[in-house]
Amino acid sequence: MASFLRTVAVSSSVAALAGAGVLAARAAQAREEVRPVLHGGRTPRILIAGGGYIGLYTAFTLRKHIGRADAEIAVVDPRPYMTYQPFLPEAAAGSIEPRHVVTSLRRELEGTTVLTGSITEIRHAERKAVIKPENDEPAYEVTYDHLVVGLGSVARTLPIPGLAEFAIGFKHIEEATALRNRVLNKMAHAASTWDPEQRRRMLTFVFVGGGFAGIEAIGEVQDMAVAATKEYDSIEPEDLRFVIVEGAGRILPELGEELGGYALEQLRERGVEINLNTFLNSCVDGHVELSNGQAFDADTVVWTAGVKANPVLENTDLPLDERGRVRTLATLQVAHEDGTVVENAWAAGDCAAVPDLTGAQGETTAPTAQHAVRQGKQLGKNLVHVLRGEEPEEYRHENIGTVASLGLYKGVAQIMGHKFRGPLAWFMHRSYHVLAMPSFERRVRILADWTEALFFRRELVSLGSLQTPRAAFEAAAASGKKPAKSEEQAPVPGGKQPSGKQ
């Protein structure tokens, strides 16, 4: 790690303190075995910004073809793991253990340095990047020879009143776990209140966005919630209210009108309210207002209405398109608008405008997991080609199909022009994605989760306190404090407290 970083202090004082460490690292490196390199000179240093699909598969492919003596590789990401996002809905519904949806970067990328932190700036002309650790430590710089940008995307939010303060996203395993706990907690609280307005509010769940993320999430979570009603005497499936808000005139547009229409009817038959050509106007303090005139209260609002390129890219000197994505050639090399290649810079995935050679002129590849996995592998191969003095190859991928889950035993799929629906499509969805998991160990664990579900009931225990792990301890600490005089004289409210039957 020390030999890769060659850290440069952000301030002059930190630089002075770091000098001794750099000298020590160089001395230690001199004692190591001399390592051959591909070219003359020192070993190339490859910095991979982002530990998602692009980062994991690029680093894995590089290490598969070149050894530690041929290149030093570092992956930088705020999280020490890669999340397989297509399985987030099943993790939210309890069909898959949340930890099985993520893959440890350090375990999978042996021989690669993994730095936990956020890249805040890239100065490619100087071959430097600034990294901010996730703790209170100061930011530091790293130098590199080759840069791979795989910073992915973030939720594309809008200036809607209450959205940033009240809604929850659905891009990370933490959000999927929080959604699961929130739904189950709200059901438990609804069963323990006598206030009908509060009860309706707690049992209302709004999902904004009718793409894959929103539809699969609401399909799986609604299945879980209906199953959970069997554990309550006071909550029936009809008491649950699930609402979809979609600005377009249909859902799942990638699957076409026929399958998208089928998915819409299936969800409506299950009682899901679907508002098409409708926008969220406000959700301040849980009071939801829609553009079609509807207004109601909901304790849960999930935002899945699209993504945008990571805004960190604005703090780089790399060429960006009008949507904030890094411009690239089909070889995944970063390039200016006129096609001039930016030397030793690569990009792919959601944060890159990669030309789609199978589509119309000027089109770019869609921000899907299918493209990201394949682009990561191709980028790794191309970087190996360049290190060996060979020409990189263009990325070209024909989309073999699309699959989507609508809940347990329910799904839609379009494979090589053939359309499937129901249990068969659901089985295809699971089969494709479990094979696409990057870790064999994770595949086995996920299969074990599914097998276990054949013999045992769905796991419906909420661990809501995970979001506030210190709450119980803080309450215990506060109980030992002597109350203030004003608190001692305060009247104690009386009356019987409501209780629920479960």
Report how far residue 260's alpha carbon sits from residue 257's, in angstroms, rounded to the nearest whole number: 5
Helix (H, G, I), strand (E, B) or coil at 370: helix
**Cα 362-364-368 angle, rounded to 5 deg:** 165
Are residues 178 and 270 both part of a single domain?
A: yes
Helix (H, G, I), strand (E, B) or coil at 502: coil
Are residues 321 and 374 both part of a single domain?
A: yes
Tell which of 255, 284, 305 closes a domain. Answer: 305
**What CATH number corresponds to the domain at position 298?**
3.50.50.60
Tokens coding 182? 């929130």
> 207 lies in a domain?
yes
Are residues 321 and 232 both part of a single domain?
A: no
> 453 lies in a domain?
no
Q: Render 217-252 in DSSP notation, one character per residue.
A: HHHHHHHHHHHHGGG-SS--GGG-EEEEE-SSSSS-
DSSP 465: G
Report how far residue 246's alpha carbon sits from residue 31's, in angstroms, rounded to the nearest whole number: 62
CB 134 within 8 A of CB 251: no
Q: Where are the alpha helices (DSSP H) in 140-281?
A: 163-166, 173-190, 196-202, 212-228, 256-269
CB 445 within 8 A of CB 452: no
* Predicted local distance difference test score (pLDDT) of residue 4: 55
> 440 lies in a domain?
no
> 450 lies in a domain?
no
Are residues 141 and 274 both part of a single domain?
A: no
- Report, as ranges of residue numbers, the positions in the chain whose pLDDT lies below 50: 2, 5-38, 486-490, 492-502
Each residue's pLDDT tens digit, 164-199? 999 999 999 999 999 999 999 999 999 999 999 999
Q: Which residues contact 110 (CB under 8 A, 6 or more apart)?
A: 63
Closest to 276 (Cα-Cα) out of 287, 288, 259, 261: 261
* Predicted local distance difference test score (pLDDT) of residue 165: 95
CB 180 within 8 A of CB 462: yes
Domain count, the chain: 2
Are residues 167 and 151 both part of a single domain?
A: no
Are residues 98 and 49 both part of a single domain?
A: yes
Q: Report the half-sphere exposure of 81 (CA within 13 A, side-chain side).
A: 15
**pTM for the model:** 0.85
Are residues 167 and 301 both part of a single domain?
A: yes
* Predicted local distance difference test score (pLDDT) of residue 500: 44
> 131 lies in a domain?
yes
Tokens coding 381? 């191969």
Domain that holds residue 70: 35-155+308-387
Helix (H, G, I), strand (E, B) or coil at 344: strand
Tokens coding 453? 């579900």
> 197 lies in a domain?
yes
Each residue's pLDDT tens digit, 317-351? 999 999 999 999 999 999 999 999 999 999 999 99
Helix or strand run (H / E) with residue 45 = strand 45-49
Are residues 173 and 289 both part of a single domain?
A: yes
For residue 117, the one-letter residue type is G
Are residues 262 and 287 both part of a single domain?
A: yes
> 151 lies in a domain?
yes
Quick count: other Cβ atoms within 10 Å of Cβ 149? Answer: 32
Are residues 138 and 242 both part of a single domain?
A: no
Quick count: other Cβ atoms within 10 Å of Cβ 140? Answer: 20
For residue 277, the one-letter residue type is N
Tell which of 281, 305, 329 closes a domain. Answer: 305
Q: Where are the beta strands (DSSP E) in 311-421?
A: 326-327, 333-335, 341-347, 352-353, 401-407, 410-415, 418-421
Tell which of 318, 352, 387 closes a domain. Answer: 387
Report how far residue 287's alpha carbon sits from residue 275's, in angstroms, rounded to the nearest whole number: 17
* Predicted local distance difference test score (pLDDT) of residue 463: 80
Are residues 298 and 314 both part of a single domain?
A: no
Report how far residue 369's alpha carbon sits from residue 198's, in angstroms, rounded to the nearest whole number: 39
For residue 192, the one-letter residue type is S
Report how far residue 414's alpha carbon sits from residue 407's, in angstroms, rounded to the nearest whole number: 17
Q: How far apart are the first and last CA of the chain?
A: 55
> 144 lies in a domain?
yes
* Predicted local distance difference test score (pLDDT) of residue 42: 75
Tokens coding 58? 């690029």
Are residues 206 and 280 both part of a single domain?
A: yes
